[in-house]
Amino acid sequence: MKKRFGEPELSQKMSNWYPDLLPIMREEDYHTHYLGETEKGILFFGYETFVFPKGFSSENWENERLEYALVYLFDKNGNHIETKYKLAGKTSDISPNQTNKMLSDLISELGNFIYKDIKVKPFKTTIDGIEFGLVPNEEIQMIELQPSSTIAFGEPWDGEYDT
C-alpha cells in the first residue's frame, strides 16, 4: 500500500490512543506499592513478577516459572533510564517472600525517597531475552505491565489499573 503525501505513518496514527505520560496511582500494599521519587528527582516503580520463558504448561509449572524483583527508574520527564533487577530463580527453588526481600533490597539502594503517584512514558526493555516494561497493546488499547500482563492501564488514563 502506497502512502499519500502528507499522510502520517501508521505508527504515528496508532500512538494517538494513549497519553504521552502515563499516570500511575500508588496503591499501598498492592501492585503499585513501590512507586515514588528519590531525593535526586528519579522516579521509580518496583514490583515482583514472573515469566514462563518457554510458555506455560499446567504440569510442573513451578519448575518452569522464573521469579524476578525489579525497579524501573525514570528521569523527571518520565523517560525510562534504567532497570535494576534480580532473578530470584525458579518458583520451585526459592523460599516464600524471597522476591519480596530482593525487591526491598533494590528499593533501599535508592537512598532517601518518598512514595507517591508518578507519570512516566511507556517503554520496553529486554532482560534475559524477555520483554519487560509498560508496553502499549494496540489490540486492546491498554498499556500492559509486562511480562505476564499483571496489570494494565487504560481510559480514562487516571492512574488506576485493571488486573
- Per the structure, the complete domain to which residue 78 belongs is given by 17-122
CB 130 within 8 A of CB 88: no
Does residue 3 fall inside a structural domain?
Answer: no
Instruction: Check pLDDT > 90 for residue 30.
Output: yes
pLDDT in tens, 66-118: 999 999 999 999 999 999 999 999 999 999 899 999 999 999 999 999 999 99
Does residue 24 fall inside a structural domain?
Answer: yes
127-136 residues labelled b (16+ CB within 10 A) or e (exposed): eeebebbbbb
CB 22 within 8 A of CB 35: no
Domain count across the chain: 1
Does residue 163 fall inside a structural domain?
Answer: no
Predicted confidence at residue 6, as pLDDT, reads 40
pLDDT in tens, 52-69: 988 887 788 999 999 999
Does residue 92 fall inside a structural domain?
Answer: yes
Does residue 41 fall inside a structural domain?
Answer: yes
pLDDT in tens, 121-158: 999 999 999 999 999 999 999 999 999 888 999 999 99
Whether the ω angle into residue 8 lies within 30 degrees of 0, i.e. cis, is no
Predicted confidence at residue 58, as pLDDT, reads 76
Instruction: Check pLDDT > 70 for residue 13.
Output: no
State the average pLDDT over residues 33-59: 93
Does residue 75 fall inside a structural domain?
Answer: yes
Sign of CA dihedral 103, 109, 115, 118: negative
DSSP string, 34-75: EEEEETTS-EEEEEEEEE-TT---STTHHHH-EEEEEEEEE-
Q: Give the whole-angstrom CA distance, residue 144 versus residue 159.
A: 13
66-74 vs 142-146, strand pairing mode: unpaired
Does residue 56 fall inside a structural domain?
Answer: yes
Predicted structure pTM score: 0.87
Does residue 154 fall inside a structural domain?
Answer: no
